[in-house]
Structure 1
Amino acid sequence: MYLNSLIDMTNESMIQALGVLLKWLDVSWGFLHLDEQTQAPIMAINTISLEDIVMMNRETYEALQIFNQLAHPSSFKRGARGSYREGLSVYGIFNRCKSQLGCKFMRVMFLHPSRDIDVLNSRFDVVQFCVQPKNEDIVKNMLVCMKNIKNITRIISRLTKLSASVREWKCLHKTIYYGIMLGNLCEAIASEAKLFREIAGCITEEMCQTDYCINRIIDFKEAELQNTFVVKLGVDEELDRLKQKCGGIPELISSVAQQELKHLPPYIKECALVYIPEIGYLLSLPPWKESMTEEDWNVPGTEFMFKLGNVGHYKTARCQELDGMLGDTTVEIAEYESRILLKLVQFIQERIAPLHKLIKLASELDCLIALALVAKENNYVRPVLTTERVLEIEGGRHPLQELCVDDFVPNDTFSGEQHSLMKIITGPNSSGKSVYLKQVALIAFLAHIGSFVPAKRAKIGVLHHIHTRIQTVESIATNISAFMIDLKQMILSLYSSTPSSLIIVDEFGKGTTEIDGLALLASCLDHFLSREVKCPHVLASTHFHDVVSLVQKSRYLKLQTMEYIADHDGQIVNLFKLKDGSVQTS
């Protein structure tokens, strides 16, 4: 009963998430140091809802070439972390992010296309601002800031344990400094987009105080030389006094070492003074002859302490005098600086929340600027999003194909209750049918991540699903045939589609006999048409020309074909232009 009051047992996703959490706790239990008085170091809690996500399966991402990870050619490195690189893909051409956080945010954005119009319009506003030539200088300054903004989650964890390195302290300081600079830039243009206002709102007085305290307390130049935390002069009077006292120690030690050498036996040619905490100052002597015995290490007028390697360490009267005069000054300095470090860490922890929010927003801004750069280079336009069930694309282009050819032929797409909801496209091989189908799906996808689209004009109704039956990915692990894989993809489209879905079907049914393939394709298309006004957006290409006579007549159905001409030798010349009509042979 108690568990039922906390968890909805009918929610499969919640149960699965709880299982993953329990598994992680079981594996990480030895690294968690919590008691009743200790709070867990939770930075933030983010809510992820599936209600506003456009559903796309893995096969659709692969078929549309949104991601294309290439494995390392060496079998020894294949599968290792960082061994994959992105090939020719939509994500590959859009990923111009300056920070690792921006790259991660872009991948998440591509994996979670949104159907929240307010969120998407907010992203469009940022892209619109960044593509304008008059704002080029501001965008460049933003990119400089974001290049220096890092993920500080691990750094904060190490600060809590007082184990952060000098490099990590510098990284934190640069992140805060450039975060404040980015906030000031966004404050000047806050009226242009909601994201700019949110970033400007993260710059609080506490964040400025944190930046001032880090810069005022830590001596980064000296810390790099000593490879440890060093406090600047003027922060603490007692610490300054100890450092001044310690400042003349090297000259004093050098002078005492010269005096010690004069009183040592003549066969000893060199010596040095070293300081060891809890023991004090010692006289160190290297071996003065080969194959020294234990008796040889005894030196008149000194007390032998120990031998470290080939160097003997001794206590002398002058060393005892230094112990009494200087004491453990170095240890006291380290203790003072440790106390100051602890107070600084506590001060930062109490004021770090706005910085986490700023970093998240900065990663989104980095991602949107990358989208703007691609839109500017390739002449993309801002789509109009609407709750109407419509797809209107004028002069649409394939974002990848147009980069691989000299002249790309754009095509229009009009789908909706006022036009038609199903298109059956026929035409010769290599006439551009598959490219056209993918281009429509990609334009719709880009609009749902907040990107401008490759077209002259686009009006996109919000979609709930994008389903495809384009590519057959065979694998021994699936233990099913290629034809069965095609059927599974088609079944998903039939059962999961809604009136606001986009379904792309490319030559379904070719994996079996002609009669069976024709019957399957005709029955699937006929099922969609039977929904009448609730029919989803369906674009299907086929070489089964008789399918037109097998499906029911409907005002929601339109026949289209790819235009071509035949030369004097009977050779087909494809024009790659879509027109109404159909062909009888291909």
Structure 2
Amino acid sequence: MGKQTPMMEQYLKIKADYQDAFLFFRLGDFYEMFNDDAINAARELEITLTKRGGSDGIPMCGVPYHAAENYIKTLIDKGYKVAICEQVEDPKTAKGVVKREVVQLVTPGTVMESNMLKEGENNYIASLSHFQDGSYVIVYNDLSTGENNITVISHGWDAVIHELYNQPIKEIVISSNLPEDLQTKLRDRLHVTLSYQDEITFNAEYRNLAENLNDERLMKAFSRLLNYIQHTQKRSLDHLQPANVIELKHYLSLDMYSKRNLELTETIIKKGKHGSLLWVLDQTVTAMGSRLLKKWLERPLLDKKRIENRLNVVDAFYQRFMERDTLRDTLKSVYDLERLAGRIAFGNVNARDLLQLKQSLEKIPELKATLNQFEERQIQTLSTGLKYPKELIDLLNTSIIDNPPISIKEGSIIRDGYNEVLDTYRDASRNGKRWIAALEKKEKQETDIKSLKIGYNRVFGYYIEITKANIHLIPEGRYERKQTLANAERYITPELKEKEQLIIEAEEKSVELEYNLFIEIREKIKEHIPELQYLAEIVSKIDVLQAFATVSEKNNYRRPYFVENKLNIINGRHPVIEQVMKDGSFVPNNVSLDENKNILLITGPNMSGKSTYMRQLALAVIMGQIGCFVPCDEAELIIFDQIFTRIGAADDLVSGQSTFMVEMLEANHAIANATDRSLILLDEIGRGTSTYDGMALAQAIVEYIHNNIQAKTLFSTHYHELTVLEESLEKLKNIHVRAEEFEGNVVFLHQIQEGAADKSYGIHVAKLANLPEALIERASTILQELESSDKPAPTTEKIESGQLSFFVGETEQVKERNKPIPATEEKAIDELKSLNLFEMTPMEAMNALYRLQKQVKM
């Protein structure tokens, strides 16, 4: 590369410190990019790529600085980082190349501009730190609201992935020493931007944020994220809140499989909110409330007292429609206090934002008055927390005009009477303009030139303009020529020049003073940020709880009651499906689980509603444990510590895992982690492999849960042979989804009844899918042939604790032969019996099976 210009040397020196970001390099009215940045930005932003210095020069592209925000958003949405490099000295006074510095590094996890954020969602950046004791510490920060949360994971890497997956994380800050294979797993599983921060020395400036941290691991992990944010943002972080330590044992655990399968916050196929449980429940009217609802959904409670406190408020709101409706109307006028506080601290707030803040705070007395109409202790506590910030509102009322402009650098922001010096400047400016108007009238009269006018522009200042047709009317020596136009001449007088200087000086000083006053006001408001954040917290809770009451009344939900070891739901419904159907045709069903019958083995045809039945139970449990009413006629619920689901078929092609492998991994995750206080939902386990293998696995899993875990379990299957397990497993109960045949067609009644189903009606479902008639007839013939032959039946022999049986019983043909088993086969069987599959990796299990099969075939 040849010798660079001083400007390009400056660019390359700055770029060297920001290799993983696009460098927006300010040149006049544009942000310019060069070399690879230019090539990549031109592709991603679909803008023209040029060259600096002619056809043989370096690649170059740029975007106008006034429109840069939209281009930055595009890059951020695609997971990139953007370093904003500004001119930090006046080009008019600069000696040599204008000094430039990166003033902010915008990353997916640190955006603050409202057009880059989704109102109802948090925008988390997280840090992940690994310690010698094997633990991982995760720190979450939402820079737009100042929220900080910390949690410790002690159960290995899989638990880390499950925890991170369940939060809306856009960026993860890690140590550069984290093993590359783990970094790859983070990228592939979570689809986030990875950033690096090795410095974990705690900055004493943020001592107040760490007051809840008494563990060295937490301090170091928190420091990693704080140092990264400070390094990238390069400005005040006064709105950051003290770190909140989240004890995961206080919340119902939902692994990544369960959150996905239950579609709590987004649907599996469309990856959107519509069709999810969040979509149904979100009757909030503020952005703050919508974000809090999502957080509650992601972390249901385990503490019965806290759950009941929420339910008491919801019940009160439910019973009193008029007061609740008044609350909703008031809340509609409340803007996003959390993010307004963040923008005030960050320095990117404008006068209209402050007006929104004032309008929101003025609604506090109305909210308080409505809450005071309730007698419930929990509602009175909420009312007490709504402190009216009179000092702050008085400041806003006296300082900011009612309809300010967006820009804070062009004046017309501050009220008259707020500042004496500003009033003086304004008076001089206004009087001067009145004097100009009077001068124009006087000159028209004295010269008798009716078209004479006095104008102004930034280059020439004030002038008297007279058309060339009237120049002869000007008294000699009256004016001094200033500018010649095509059809007119412009003049000035010493008197006009003097007034011009006074007016312009007053206007310039007025605009500059207004800007400085606005900055002072913003700094005063910063002192109230903790107060604003606390108000936002209370308002958010009110909004979510009224939303629960609103959706409960609208959809006919009932308050759940929590009991020990017995779950009983009368006429339960699926909250999402009944809303999608809208015609009232959803068939409700009962669910009953207790200490005597804690496993329900569900049989029935495809499309009959087995999966819906299972999901609606899990959703009812989650709704109850976040403090919402439940879609049913009556509900007695157990507080579950964990929910595990294996519902639906899905490949994980990125990780090279088949549908069956995913099924086994999810089943193993449930079996390895569930307790007797957990809820397990397993749908069609074993269908991804051969019939005998699948049936053996399904039976073994049911037996293992029954004998070893004793969790409340719903297990749906098409292996009707498994229904005989009711005879040997005392806590297992058969239920089925009712279906009837009518004139050769199947009618799905979607009703759960006791006992086992007699058939699966798979061919009838194929017929409903309009498969060719000849194909349907052939399938029916084959089915009759298969049903007439002998079928394997599960053994009802009990198994020893901790041992999984994979033997489904001998067929009649084997019994008839009654031949001794060869020694090699007997040895293989003994070895197979000794295997503990749930302590083996999938690859180890496959290798063991291959070796045993080879041994038997010899």
TM over 0.5: yes
Shift of residue 250 of structure 1? Answer: 2.3
Compare 575-584 and 421-430 and name the one that shifted more. 575-584
Alpha-carbon separation, structure 1, partners of 2:330 and 2:489: 54
Match of 2:463 among 283, 287, 294: 283
- Is 1:68–1:86's contact at 8 Å kept on the other side of the alignment? yes
Cross-structure match for 2:713: 538
Match of 2:660 among 461, 483, 498: 483
Q: Which runs of 5+ in 2 are unaligned?
A: 1-128, 140-159, 161-171, 175-193, 198-224, 470-476, 761-858
Match of 1:102 among 272, 284, 289: 289
Cross-structure match for 1:364: 541
1:139 correspondence with 2:337: no
Distance 1:456 1:242, change over 3 A: same
Distance 1:513 1:203, change over 3 A: same
Alpha-carbon separation, structure 1, partners of 2:322 and 2:499: 61
Q: Give 3-state SS (helix, strand or coil) of 1:96's partner.
A: coil
Alpha-carbon separation, structure 1, partners of 2:536 and 2:430: 41
Alpha-carbon separation, structure 2, partners of 1:427 and 1:527: 23
Q: Deviations over 1:287-344 (max 9, x none)?
A: 969xxxxxxxxx995375x999999987641134325766733344445544543443
1:251 correspondence with 2:426: no
- Is 1:239–1:336's contact at 8 Å kept on the other side of the alignment? yes
1:32 correspondence with 2:233: yes
Match of 1:302 among 480, 483, 501: 480
Residue identity in the other structure for 2:288: L
Alpha-carbon separation, structure 2, partners of 1:235 and 1:364: 36
Shift of residue 447 of structure 1? Answer: 1.1
1:560 correspondence with 2:742: no
Q: Give 3-state SS (helix, strand or coil) of 2:650's partner.
A: coil
Compare 510-519 and 90-99 and name the one that shifted more. 90-99
Q: Name the count of aligned residue pairs.
A: 545
Higher RCO (Cα < 8 Å, 6 or more apart)? 1
Match of 2:560 among 358, 383, 388: 383
Alpha-carbon separation, structure 2, partners of 1:309 and 1:201: 70
Match of 1:519 among 673, 686, 696: 696
Residue identity in the other structure for 2:138: M
Distance 1:437 1:255, change over 3 A: same
Q: Deviations over 1:345-376 (max 9, x none)?
A: 23322123222122233223222222222211
Residue identity in the other structure for 1:90: L
Shift of residue 119 of structure 1? Answer: 2.7
Distance 1:281 1:447, change over 3 A: same
Alpha-carbon separation, structure 1, partners of 2:376 and 2:228: 47
TM-score normalised by structure 1 residue count:
0.80
Match of 1:127 among 314, 322, 328: 314
Shift of residue 439 of structure 1? Answer: 1.8
Distance 1:551 1:325, change over 3 A: closer
Alpha-carbon separation, structure 1, partners of 2:759 and 2:513: 88
1:347 correspondence with 2:532: no
Q: Deviations over 1:461-491 (max 9, x none)?
A: 1112111111112243232211111111111
- Is 2:338–2:536's contact at 8 Å kept on the other side of the alignment? no
Cross-structure match for 2:578: 402
Match of 1:581 among 755, 768, 781: 755
Cross-structure match for 1:112: 299
Q: Give 3-state SS (helix, strand or coil) of 2:750's partner.
A: strand
Q: Which runs of 5+ in 1 are unaligned?
A: 73-83, 290-298
Q: Deviations over 1:247-284 (max 9, x none)?
A: 33322112334566789999x965534386xx995327
Cross-structure match for 1:198: 382
Shift of residue 44 of structure 1? Answer: 5.0
1:208 correspondence with 2:390: yes
Alpha-carbon separation, structure 2, partners of 1:310 and 1:43: 65
Q: Give 3-state SS (helix, strand or coil) of 2:715's partner.
A: strand
Compare 481-490 and 573-582 and name the one that shifted more. 573-582
Shift of residue 435 of structure 1? Answer: 2.3
- Is 2:344–2:525's contact at 8 Å kept on the other side of the alignment? no
- Is 1:122–1:195's contact at 8 Å kept on the other side of the alignment? no
Distance 1:378 1:550, change over 3 A: closer
Cross-structure match for 2:813: none
Q: Give 3-state SS (helix, strand or coil) of 1:468's partner.
A: strand
Cross-structure match for 2:415: 232
Match of 2:273 among 86, 95, 119: 86
Distance 1:347 1:552, change over 3 A: same
- Is 2:479–2:492's contact at 8 Å kept on the other side of the alignment? no
Distance 1:215 1:557, change over 3 A: same
Alpha-carbon separation, structure 2, partners of 1:311 and 1:8: 84
Cross-structure match for 2:240: 42
Distance 1:286 1:499, change over 3 A: farther
Cross-structure match for 2:351: 166
Cross-structure match for 1:179: 364
Alpha-carbon separation, structure 1, partners of 2:486 and 2:756: 91
Residue identity in the other structure for 2:330: C
Cross-structure match for 1:11: 135
Alpha-carbon separation, structure 1, partners of 2:377 and 2:669: 38
Alpha-carbon separation, structure 1, partners of 2:509 and 2:138: 54
Alpha-carbon separation, structure 2, partners of 1:159 and 1:522: 61
Distance 1:326 1:30, change over 3 A: same
- Is 1:125–1:193's contact at 8 Å kept on the other side of the alignment? no
Distance 1:351 1:21, change over 3 A: farther
Compare 353-362 and 215-224 and name the one that shifted more. 215-224
Compare 470-479 and 192-201 and name the one that shifted more. 192-201
Alpha-carbon separation, structure 2, partners of 1:270 and 1:494: 92
Cross-structure match for 1:61: 259
1:330 correspondence with 2:507: yes
Residue identity in the other structure for 2:321: E
Distance 1:14 1:94, change over 3 A: closer
Q: Give 3-state SS (helix, strand or coil) of 1:104's partner.
A: helix
Alpha-carbon separation, structure 2, partners of 1:55 and 1:225: 47
Alpha-carbon separation, structure 2, partners of 1:169 and 1:312: 47
Q: Give 3-state SS (helix, strand or coil) of 2:728's partner.
A: coil
Shift of residue 458 of structure 1? Answer: 1.3
Compare 236-245 and 141-150 and name the one that shifted more. 236-245
- Is 2:555–2:631's contact at 8 Å kept on the other side of the alignment? yes
Q: Deviations over 1:118-145 (max 9, x none)?
A: 332222122212211xx22221221122
Shift of residue 114 of structure 1? Answer: 2.2
Match of 1:444 among 612, 621, 638: 621
Give the aligned CA root-mean-square deviation in angstroms.
3.9
Shift of residue 9 of structure 1? Answer: 5.6
- Is 2:682–2:716's contact at 8 Å kept on the other side of the alignment? yes
Q: Deviations over 1:138-158 (max 9, x none)?
A: 212211222222224554455
Shift of residue 442 of structure 1? Answer: 1.6
Alpha-carbon separation, structure 1, partners of 2:484 and 2:242: 54
Alpha-carbon separation, structure 1, partners of 2:289 and 2:568: 31
Distance 1:229 1:580, change over 3 A: same
1:393 correspondence with 2:578: no
Alpha-carbon separation, structure 2, partners of 1:485 and 1:308: 80
Distance 1:157 1:364, change over 3 A: closer
Q: Give 3-state SS (helix, strand or coil) of 2:310's partner.
A: helix
Alpha-carbon separation, structure 2, partners of 1:99 and 1:309: 59
